[in-house]
């Protein structure tokens, strides 16, 4: 399974641009809990992809 666009956005904003999950949630119109879930799910999806 590939990461969704929202999961990728959360991951890039957090890992590459150093935004906090609370800030990202506000930007994307999500709750902080949903943002945290998207971040974790995206990391798992990327980890499962063959290189």
| pTM for the predicted model, two decimal places | 0.85
Closest by Cα among 31, 50, 38 to 13: 38
Structure tokens at 38: 């998207």
Q: How do residues 23-49 score in pLDDT, each as one tens digit?
A: 999 999 999 999 999 999 999 998 887
Predicted confidence (pLDDT) at residue 51 exceeds the cutoff of 80: no
Residue-level pLDDT at 26: 98
Please report, for the chain, the start and end positions of each structural domain, with discontinuous segments joined by +: 5-48
Structure tokens at 24: 């990202």
Predicted confidence (pLDDT) at residue 1 exceeds the cutoff of 80: no
Contact 35, 21 (CB under 8 A): yes
Specify the residue for token string 């890039």.
Answer: 12
């Amino acid at each position: 399974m590939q990461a969704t666009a929202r999961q990728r956005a959360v991951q890039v904003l957090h890992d590459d641009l150093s935004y906090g999950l609370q800030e990202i949630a506000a930007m994307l119109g999500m709750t902080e809990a949903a943002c945290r879930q998207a971040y974790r799910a995206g990391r798992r999806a990327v980890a499962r992809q063959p290189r």
